[in-house]
Amino acid sequence: MSSENAVSRKPASALVRTDYRARYEALLHDNLPETFKSFAPFFANMRRLETMAGMLRRHVKGTGKMVLNAGCGPFASEIFVGALQQQKIESFDYTLEFARFFEIFRNEGLLEDVSFSTANAMVVSYPEKRFHLIVMHDLLYEVALDLDTVLSRYVPYLAPDGLVYFDFMNARLRPLWRVLGKEKRYRRYDPQDVRAILERHGLAIVEWQALRSGATGPTAAFHLLLRMFGTANAFAVLARLNAGAAR
Ligand SMILES: C[S@@+](CC[C@H](N)C(=O)[O-])C[C@H]1O[C@@H](n2cnc3c(N)ncnc32)[C@H](O)[C@@H]1O
């Protein structure tokens, strides 16, 4: 790894290498097709990784663990999330425009312990009990991906006591976004349904919290207001496979 990309840990942050953020964004901008360029600042926004990074820092101890990153996009989690450093990560995504960044970041001396394939989450398969951690960050808003179906596919890939991270959008806020004219075509879930789905799959909640969005300014203030009312637009969940649960 070149020294300029060496892992620099900021105290009190679960993110690493944040001094690489500007170059990361520039590489995205320069190598994405015109219609995708607006994604560069989105993926380079470190705030959107913070909730997951904090959860993983608290619960993923040690290195060399097998990790699956489903719908990895242009590798922001692999590069910036502290707890994912020095793990053995298998990443996939079906968007071809992001695939080329695997080579680009490898050429930067990054993604050393990462393998990548272009694959669809509903088709790809792995050996049973392979992964200590499965990450689905900012993925389950996709209309084509249903949490219950996704967990049916992926829970068998979890090692005993394995962890799964995912986040989801709160269905209870759909009417509010509709009134505000902001609702898009996202899949949303009622939090109570998510708890029931987790239980059905033998997954015990380790942490459940409001997901910090990448928003700034008035939008961020609005998200804060939602939290003051005890709710959130999206939640992050870390759950552990109950050892001995029916599979
Ligand atoms: C908002 S991006 C998040 C990327 C990454 N997880 C992150 O947080 O930086 C969602 C990603 O999920 C991918 N995706 C959505 N549905 C997928 C599917 N069925 N199979 C594989 N990838 C999928 C998209 O291509 C996109 O890269």
| Amino acid found at 36 | F
Residue partners of 219: CB distance under 8 A and separation at least 6: 213
Work out which ligand 1 atom sits closest to the CA atom of 69. Answer: 6
- Say how many Å lie between the CA of residue 139 and the centre of ligand 1: 5
pLDDT computed for residue 246 by the predictor? 46
- pLDDT over 50 at 46, yes or no: yes
Report the DSSP beta bridge partners of residue 133.
67, 163
Question: Which residues line the pocket of ligand 1, CB cutoff 6 A?
Answer: 43, 71-73, 76-77, 93-95, 98, 120-122, 137-139, 142, 144-145
Report the DSSP beta bridge partners of residue 189.
170
Closest C-alpha to ligand 1, atom 1: 138
- pLDDT over 50 at 10, yes or no: no
Give the residue extent of every domain in the chain. 3-241
Q: What is the pTM of this model?
A: 0.92
- Say how many Å lie between the CA of residue 210 and the centre of ligand 1: 20
pLDDT digits (tens, 9 = 90+) for 81-106: 999 999 999 999 999 999 999 999 99
pLDDT digits (tens, 9 = 90+) for 220-230: 888 888 888 78
- Which superfamily, per CATH, for 3-241? Vaccinia Virus protein VP39 (3.40.50.150)
Closest C-alpha to ligand 1, atom 23: 71
* 205 vs 180, higher pLDDT: 205
Average pLDDT, stretch 27-31?
Answer: 98
Q: Comparing C-alpha atoms, which of 31, 177, 49, 173 is closest to residue 105?
A: 31
pLDDT computed for residue 243 by the predictor? 64
With cut-offs at 50, 70 and 90, classify the pLDDT of residue 181. Answer: confident
pLDDT computed for residue 12 by the predictor? 52
- Say how many Å lie between the CA of residue 69 and the centre of ligand 1: 10
Write out the H or E segment, with its range, that includes residue 207.
strand 203-210
- Among 21, 49, 94, 133, the mutation site with the greatest number of ligand 1 atoms within 8 A of its Cβ is 94
CA 90 to CA 178: how far, in whole Å? 38
pLDDT averaged over every residue in the chain = 92
Q: Residue 192 is encoded by which pair of tokens?
A: 């109570």
* 199 vs 11, higher pLDDT: 199
Closest C-alpha to ligand 1, atom 26: 73
With cut-offs at 50, 70 and 90, classify the pLDDT of residue 11. Answer: very low
